[in-house]
């Protein structure tokens, strides 16, 4: 798991649900095909254009609705570096930590970024800098337990010996 | 200071004095699986883990039954092999019903249990004062292996329901009303408790519909106190040694919202959000292509009964597909005995086999571009039931049945 990386911003609004992230009708497809439909209802270009370490900056309640783990899995498969939200749904947040997809909470990130901005993320120190604007974006520090799970690449490797 | 229902259950399951905000490791009493079982199994294998206690796993198949294509058939075949290999003792296959309904019918649910499920609507069992919530495949696999997982002890919001509902207004209208007033984020990471005389007045079927949709408010648990009605239901389903289970009178709530349900009108969630709610009376006349009665939200006997009562002796609009899918075969059988199925068929309903149906867009009643569906299900997200350009309106079984008759959104009090 990378502690530091730079990536381009993709912006999405409040209440993006898991049916939008990974539409149910493609649920039975293998991940390489299914991930091509990721976020398709709100941005049909996303899956085809997203690059490694790109960062989703989103509004409130990201990942609400179905508990389907394929939603964070698809984002991880597309090599998303992190999702930064005002808030996450409980299951999306837990699923992301459990599979090792970095999730950060920030009240201000949505207001301080535009689509296409370049961000630098440091998970170890919970800092995010908008390189395009030079502005530092305040994020909530990751809970120690959860940071440990993320850095170990997920819940199984983290609790291997318990 | 006393304890909420969530704090009581997490205290018992973690062996600590769990207060809101604490992170605890708690032992699960029951894990409920469905068609996601193969994904859980694959993770167990990858991690080289074994099942901690196969007697605590309950599994049905409900999303894709019977299979709609070869690929899904292969998955279900694989899952039957997994059930044998893991020796899952409480396996109810393709012919019992939706996992979020049948664990109660089969006597696996009781007040005070801590339950994990693959499906987000496992919160339904909060209707029995069970702390029941969902996890993704990886964490379910972890629970399969260890029998425990971390929980953040949630704070609790109480909805104090006052009065009782008018005729043809249903518990679905209460929870849609709450979603409209408070939004889809109010319950995030929290426990909800529905209490007061209004909560007591609801049947178990009605309570399950409310708990079911707690997840649409983001909630971890959606709880009712277990009262004499709960105990009676459980006894009827083979659970004898149960008692009432309540929050302490001096428990601490993050917020208490009184809700007067005496004058509540039938409610409608408009596309594409569960919080986009208006009174049905303000939306009458919107033409529909499909009316869908079913799912773990509202495919229960009470729901079928009121639908039959409304359509009896009438005909469904000839250009409208009225799709009825009972949530379990036990419900289906009882509806047959009561003549409900006959009444529905005579009115022009299509009765499909038990399961999740088109709720999540997999099969049986998928929507084309430009189509509108009024549904008793719990999510009206864009593309949920098929085309991204279809529209889903959520409403009670009464409103759905009334709308099926007219072929347009109709207030059930006007029929």
Which residue in the set B72, B119, B139 is minimally distant from A155, CB to CB? B139
Q: Report the C-alpha gap between A118 and B364 in whole angstroms.
A: 45
Query: Which segments of chain B have a pLDDT < 50?
Result: none
| A27 contact B CB<8A | yes
Report domain A4-158's class. Answer: alpha beta
- Return mean pLDDT, chain A: 94
pLDDT score recorded for residue B7: 98
Write the CA distances from B330 to A83, B5, B216, integer angstroms. 44, 30, 27
H or E element at residue B177: helix B171-182
Q: Report the C-alpha gap between B162 and B197 in whole angstroms.
A: 6
pLDDT tens-digit map of B307-364: 999 999 999 999 999 999 999 999 999 999 999 999 999 999 999 999 999 999 999 9
Which residue in the set B23, B71, B119 is minimally distant from A145, CB to CB? B23
| A44 contact B CB<8A | no
**Is residue A161 over pLDDT 60?**
no
- Do B135 and A91 count as a contact with CB atoms less than 8 A apart? yes
* Torsion sign across C-alpha atoms B78, B81, B87, B90: positive
The model's pTM is: 0.94
- Do B273 and A65 count as a contact with CB atoms less than 8 A apart? no
| A22 contact B CB<8A | no
Q: Give the start-end residues of each E strand in chain A.
A: 4-11, 55-58, 82-85, 103-105, 118-122, 127-130, 135-138
Task: Name every residue whose Cβ is closer than 8 Å to that of residue B14 and which is 6 or more positions away in sequence.
Answer: B24, B25, B26, B27, B151
Q: Report the C-alpha gap between A151 and A126 in whole angstroms.
A: 13
User: In order of start, what are the domains of chain B with their CATH numbers?
Assistant: 5-260 (3.30.499.10), 271-414 (3.30.499.10)
B123, B218, B364: which to substitute to probe chain A, counting the most A Cβ within 10 Å?
Answer: B218
Q: Check if the beta carbon of residue A137 is closer than 8 Å to that of residue A129.
A: yes
- Do A87 and B185 count as a contact with CB atoms less than 8 A apart? yes
| A53 contact B CB<8A | no
How many Cβ atoms are within 10 Å of B48's Cβ, its own excluded?
Answer: 8
- Do B361 and A24 count as a contact with CB atoms less than 8 A apart? yes
Q: Is B113 helix (H, G, I), strand (E, B) or coil?
A: coil
| B77 contact A CB<8A | no
Q: Report the C-alpha gap between B356 and B225 in whole angstroms.
A: 27
| pLDDT tier at A12, thresholds 50, 70, 90 | very high
B296, B383, B385, B389: which to substitute to probe chain A, counting the most A Cβ within 10 Å?
Answer: B383
Q: Check if the beta carbon of residue B211 is closer than 8 Å to that of residue B240.
A: no
Closest chain A residue to the Cα of B120, Cα to Cα: A67
Nearest to B96 by CA among B294, B332, B295, B304: B332
**Is residue A162 over pLDDT 70?**
no
**Is residue A62 over pLDDT 60?**
yes
**Which residues are bridge partners to B158 per DSSP?**
B193, B256
CA angle B329, B333, B336 (to 5 degrees): 135
pLDDT score recorded for residue A144: 87
Closest chain A residue to the Cα of B381, Cα to Cα: A19
Q: Report the C-alpha gap between B90 and A2 in whole angstroms.
A: 42
Task: Name every residue whose Cβ is closer than 8 Å to that of residue B11 and which is 6 or more positions away in sequence.
Answer: B3, B17, B18
Query: Angle, nearest 10°, between helix axes B204-212 and B301-311?
Result: 100
Closest chain A residue to the Cα of B49, Cα to Cα: A156
Q: Which of residues 105-144 of A touch B (CB under 8 A)?
A: 143
CA angle B11, B237, B111 (to 5 degrees): 10
Q: Residues, chain A, total?
A: 162
Task: Characterize B203-235 residue by residue with b for buried, 16 or more Cβ atoms within 10 angstroms of its Cβ, and e for exposed.
Answer: bbbbbbbbbbbbbbbbbbbbbbbbbebbbebbe
Nearest to B352 by CA among B392, B303, B293: B293
Chain B contact set for A23 (CB, 8 A):
361, 383
Closest chain A residue to the Cα of B152, Cα to Cα: A90
pLDDT tens-digit map of B38-71: 999 999 999 999 999 999 999 999 999 999 999 9
Work out whether strand B57-59 and strand B90-91 pair parallel, antiparallel, or are unpaired: parallel
| B45 contact A CB<8A | no
Peptide bond before B333: cis, by omega within 30 degrees of 0? Answer: no
DSSP-assigned states of every residue in B28-95? -SEEEE-TTHHHHHHHHHHTT---S-GGGEEE---TTSS-SSHHHHHHHHHHHHHHHHHT-SEE-TTS
Task: Name every residue whose Cβ is closer than 8 Å to that of residue A2 and which is 6 or more positions away in sequence.
Answer: A53, A81, A123
- Do B383 and A23 count as a contact with CB atoms less than 8 A apart? yes
- Do A95 and B361 count as a contact with CB atoms less than 8 A apart? no
Q: Residues, chain B, total?
A: 415
| A67 contact B CB<8A | yes
Q: Check if the beta carbon of residue B271 is closer than 8 Å to that of residue B392.
A: yes
pLDDT score recorded for residue B197: 98
pLDDT score recorded for residue B74: 96
pLDDT tens-digit map of A78-127: 999 999 999 999 999 999 999 999 999 999 999 999 999 999 999 999 99
Q: Which of residues 82-101 of A touch B (CB under 8 A)?
A: 87, 89-91, 94-95, 98-99
| A37 contact B CB<8A | no
pLDDT score recorded for residue B298: 98
Give how far A106 is from chain B: nearest CA, Å.
16
pLDDT score recorded for residue A28: 83
Q: Report the C-alpha gap between B357 and B64 in whole angstroms.
A: 8
């Amino acid at each position: 798991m990378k502690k530091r990386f730079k990536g381009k911003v993709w912006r999405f609004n409040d209440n993006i649900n898991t049916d939008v992230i990974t539409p149910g009708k493609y649920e039975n497809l293998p991940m390489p095909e299914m991930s091509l439909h990721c976020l398709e209802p709100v941005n049909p270009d996303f899956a085809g254009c997203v690059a490694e370490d790109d960062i989703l900056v989103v509004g409130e309640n990201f990942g609400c609705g179905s508990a389907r783990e394929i939603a964070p899995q698809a984002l991880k498969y597309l090599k998303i570096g992190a999702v930064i939200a005002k808030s996450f749904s409980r299951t999306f947040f837990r699923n992301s930590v459990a599979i090792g997809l970095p999730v950060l909470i920030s009240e201000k990130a949505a207001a301080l970024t535009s689509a296409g901005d370049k961000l630098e993320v440091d998970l170890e120190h919970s800092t995010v800098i908008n390189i395009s604007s030079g502005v530092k974006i305040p994020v909530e520090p990751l809970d120690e337990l959860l940071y440990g799970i993320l850095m170990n690449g997920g819940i199984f490797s983290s609790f291997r010996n318990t | 200071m006393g304890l909420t229902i969530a704090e009581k259950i997490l205290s018992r399951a973690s062996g600590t004095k769990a207060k809101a905000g604490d992170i605890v490791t708690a032992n699960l009493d029951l894990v409920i699986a469905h068609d996601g079982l193969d994904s859980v199994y694959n993770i167990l294998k990858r991690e080289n883990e074994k099942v901690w206690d196969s007697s605590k796993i309950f599994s049905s198949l409900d999303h894709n039954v019977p299979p709609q294509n070869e690929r899904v058939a292969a998955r279900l075949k694989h899952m039957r092999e997994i059930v044998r290999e893991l020796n899952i003792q409480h396996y109810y296959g393709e012919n019992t019903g939706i996992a979020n309904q049948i664990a109660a019918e089969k006597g696996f649910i009781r007040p005070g249990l801590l339950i994990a499920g693959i499906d987000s609507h496992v919160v339904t069992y909060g209707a029995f004062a069970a702390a029941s919530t969902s996890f993704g495949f990886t964490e379910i696999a972890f629970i399969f292996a260890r029998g425990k997982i971390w929980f953040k002890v949630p704070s609790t919001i109480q909805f104090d329901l006052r009065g009782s509902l008018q005729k043809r207004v249903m518990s679905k209208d209460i929870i849609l009303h709450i979603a409209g007033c408070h939004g889809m984020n109010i319950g995030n990471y929290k426990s909800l408790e529905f209490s007061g005389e209004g909560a007591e007045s609801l049947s178990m079927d009605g309570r399950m519909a409310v708990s079911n949709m707690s997840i649409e408010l983001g909630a971890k648990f959606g709880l009712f106190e277990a009262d004499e009605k709960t105990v009676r239901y459980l006894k009827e389903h083979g659970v004898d040694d149960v008692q009432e289970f309540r929050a302490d009178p001096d428990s601490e709530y993050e917020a208490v919202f009184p809700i007067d349900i005496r004058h509540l009108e039938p409610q409608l969630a408009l596309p594409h959000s569960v919080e986009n709610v208006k009174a049905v009376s303000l939306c009458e006349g919107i033409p529909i292509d499909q009316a869908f009665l079913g799912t773990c939200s509202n495919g229960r006997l009470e729901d079928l009964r009121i639908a039959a009562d409304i359509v009896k002796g009438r005909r469904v609009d000839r250009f409208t597909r009225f799709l009825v899918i009972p949530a379990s075969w036990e419900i289906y059988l009882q509806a047959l005995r009561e003549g409900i199925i006959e009444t529905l068929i005579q009115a022009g309903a299509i009765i499909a086999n038990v399961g999740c149906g088109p709720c999540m867009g997999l099969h049986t009643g998928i929507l084309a571009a430009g189509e509108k569906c009024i549904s008793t299900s719990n999510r009206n997200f864009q593309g949920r039931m098929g085309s991204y350009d279809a529209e889903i309106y959520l409403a009670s079984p009464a409103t759905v049945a009334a709308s099926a008759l007219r072929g347009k959104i109709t207030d059930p009090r006007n029929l």
